[in-house]
Amino acid sequence: MSNDSLSLTARPQWRALHRHWARQKDIHLRELFAADPQRGERLTAEAAGIYFDYSKQRINDETLRLLHELADACGLSARIRAMFGGERINTTEDRAALHVALRARRGERIETDGADVVPEVHAVLERMAAFANRVRDGSWKGHTGKRIRTLVNIGIGGSDLGPVMAYEALRGYTDRALRFRFVSNVDGADFVEATRDLDAAETLFIVCSKTFTTQETLTNAHAARAWCLQALGGDEKAIARHFVAVSTNAAGVAEFGIDTDTMFGFWDWVGGRYSMDCAIGLSTMIAIGPDHFRAMLDGFRAMDEHFRSTPFARNVPMLHGLIAVWNANFLGAASIAVLPYEHYLKRFPAYLQQLAMESNGKRVTLDGAPADYATGPIYWGEPGTNGQHSFYQLIHQGTQVIPCDFIGFCQTLAPLGNQHDLLIANLFAQSEALAFGKTLAEVKAQGTPDALAPHRVFQGNRPSSTLLVQRLTPHALGALVALYEHSVFVQGVIWNIDSFDQWGVELGKALAQRTADELACTAEPALNHDSSTQALIRRYRRLREHSA
């Protein structure tokens, strides 16, 4: 059997990593740092303005060498070329995953199926910019002639999380005369609360849906349509002034009643969770303006170029992704905590949850065989310092290994006394405490009574990386997102899974419809579910009719 067709766990490189871990696992980060005074400077890399310190991971040079060999054996370089080359690497959906083309420079050629996609990408970006400028300068008027003051993005999943995250992250760059709201949930509370204080005459809805068939988005878009018509006197012509769409489905958009002149397209080779830098980012572009949006694309592209061309030892997404594999498969870490010490990144962990978990939450390999190893870890997190006052306890003293990604910036966008220094001091102190801990001897030396001492011991040896960036700019945000996109891709290549499909999401979309029909019918429906689901449906139908 050639090495190429071996399953991951049968690969000699994988086995070598297992033997290496057996030798390595009792070595404490304290020893690793003591043995190499340069470690904290050596085990670092830099890309597109992001400094990546991975010295507090439980690795050494041998680990990196073996991970590199594993990546070679898994054909990482060829898979990167295939992605950038527009090959149909999303095999279960038989399409390319070409989000890197969304930030290609004008004139660069990126082909899929023999066609250069870059000119179309730039044509849409230009239309977006023209439209964004009209909204921003007030020349795009609502039906009654008033200028637009509030934008409401309606979308879910990939058509929501990127736009919300980017809006929050780049608030400091937004036009504060415009307000932005995001409606995603089919729960009416989301729409009702987002619109309750709005004047329809000054509101523009951006309906974002790649397929334009998603139940939640279409339901909310219809609610918005009715809300708008009711407030504006019922004239259907108002829709064209108050609704634009972002989709790949022109027929669906036209059927809804949105003019295809104000539809911004994208392509089936853009996955939902990889779409914040195409027309799905229209709300972002309106908020920050086309120039800042282009700067964000430049940041994405800088990381793409780094990923594509930098040797392994200095390649930040490769190192980041392989360390995630090391932690998941050898340290047995089931999750990764993402901890931005930057309040503007408060939605970044939620964004990464989708990016990482929808991409790598897979249990079969590309060949359809079950994966006999852990794949995609759980991503979660909250901004620092808030998390320190809640779940960090478990990270410091719990029984599980939770590798952390700390993210910090050297300059603040919201200067207030010495608060930014305090914030970043906390970041550095946390990663230091996680790595080095506090020994029993140190605890006792502080005069702690014997009975209390075990409770106050911090084992340390808890792995983390730190991403340090000068300032949260649109460029930095683009680079950061692209870093995680490529890290997730690297992980998926090693695990030999399709990181670009999402059959679990599709299942949810299909299942809900059948049950919705059963809840909607007036006569008692004939049910054919398990006894639990049937009892829940009956109880719900009964109780919803009664006042509380």
Q: Which of residues 32 and 356 has its CB atom nearest to ligand G6Q in the complex? A: 356
Smallest separation, CB 258 to ligand G6Q (Å): 14
Smallest separation, CB 151 to ligand G6Q (Å): 18
* Residues 457-496: x where in contact with ligand G6Q by CB under 6 A, - otherwise, as a string: ----------------------------------------
Q: Which range in 232-240, 270-278, 443-451, 454-462 contacts ligand G6Q by CB under 6 A?
A: 270-278
Smallest separation, CB 509 to ligand G6Q (Å): 7
Smallest separation, CB 186 to ligand G6Q (Å): 12
SS3 label, residue 33 = helix
403 sits near ligand G6Q (criterion: CB under 6 A): no
User: Can you tell me which of 11, 143, 147, 210 binds ligand G6Q, judged by CB under 6 A?
Assistant: 210
Smallest CA-to-CA distance from 192 within 157, 164, 219 is with: 219
State the Cα–Cα distance between residues 167 and 156, nearest whole angstrom. 15
How many helices (H) and strands (E) the chain has is answered by 22, 13
Q: Which of residues 57 and 499 has its CB atom nearest to ligand G6Q in the complex? A: 499
217 sits near ligand G6Q (criterion: CB under 6 A): yes
C-alpha distances (whole Å) from 421 to each of 387, 438, 518 are 18, 24, 57
Smallest separation, CB 217 to ligand G6Q (Å): 5
CB neighbour list of residue 381: distance below 8 Å, 6 or more residues apart: 337, 338, 339, 340, 348, 349, 352, 387, 405
Q: Which of residues 214 and 466 has its CB atom nearest to ligand G6Q in the complex? A: 214
CA torsion through residues 428, 431, 432, 437, sign: positive
Given the residues 389, 432, 506, 529, select the one marked as catalytic: 389
User: Can you tell me which of 157, 281, 317, 463 binds ligand G6Q, judged by CB under 6 A?
Assistant: 157
User: Can you tell me which of 273, 320, 343, 420 binds ligand G6Q, judged by CB under 6 A?
Assistant: 273
User: Can you tell me which of 271, 383, 437, 474 binds ligand G6Q, judged by CB under 6 A?
Assistant: 271
211 sits near ligand G6Q (criterion: CB under 6 A): yes
State the Cα–Cα distance between residues 158 and 352, nearest whole angstrom. 11
Q: Which of residues 74 and 156 has its CB atom nearest to ligand G6Q in the complex? A: 156
State the Cα–Cα distance between residues 56 and 67, nearest whole angstrom. 17
State the Cα–Cα distance between residues 356 and 109, nearest whole angstrom. 28
State the Cα–Cα distance between residues 111 and 87, nearest whole angstrom. 9
State the Cα–Cα distance between residues 503 and 234, nearest whole angstrom. 40
Active site residue 305: no
Q: Which of residues 158 and 265 has its CB atom nearest to ligand G6Q in the complex? A: 158
Contact yes or no for 150/203 (Cβ under 8 A): yes
Smallest separation, CB 221 to ligand G6Q (Å): 10
Given the residues 216, 358, 382, 518, select the one marked as catalytic: 358
Q: Which of residues 271 and 317 has its CB atom nearest to ligand G6Q in the complex? A: 271
Smallest separation, CB 280 to ligand G6Q (Å): 8
Q: Which of residues 271 and 408 has its CB atom nearest to ligand G6Q in the complex? A: 271
Smallest separation, CB 113 to ligand G6Q (Å): 21
Which string of DSSP letters, residue by residue, matches 62-120? Answer: HHHHHHHHHHHHTTHHHHHHHHHTT---BTTTTB---GGGGGPPTT---EETTEE-HHH
Structure tokens at 210: 């790649």
496-525: which residues touch ligand G6Q (CB under 6 A)? 502, 505
State the Cα–Cα distance between residues 358 and 336, nearest whole angstrom. 15
Residue nearest to ligand G6Q (CB): 157
- Percent helix, strand, coil in the chain, to 5, is 55, 10, 35
SS3 label, residue 515 = helix
Instruction: Count residues near ligand G6Q (CB under 6 A).
Output: 15
E strands present in 395-537: 404-409, 464-469
CB neighbour list of residue 507: distance below 8 Å, 6 or more residues apart: none
Which string of DSSP letters, residue by residue, matches 180-249? Answer: EEEE--SSHHHHHHHHTT--GGGEEEEEE-SSS--HHHHHHHHHHHHHHHHHTTT-TTHHHHHEEEEES-
Q: Which range in 31-39, 154-162, 361-369, 413-421 contacts ligand G6Q by CB under 6 A?
A: 154-162
Active site residue 193: no
Q: Which of residues 161 and 239 has its CB atom nearest to ligand G6Q in the complex? A: 161
Active site residue 358: yes
358 sits near ligand G6Q (criterion: CB under 6 A): yes
174 sits near ligand G6Q (criterion: CB under 6 A): no
**Residues binding ligand G6Q (CB under 6 A):** 156-159, 209-211, 214, 217, 271-273, 358, 502, 505
Question: Which residues are catalytically annotated?
Answer: 358, 389, 509
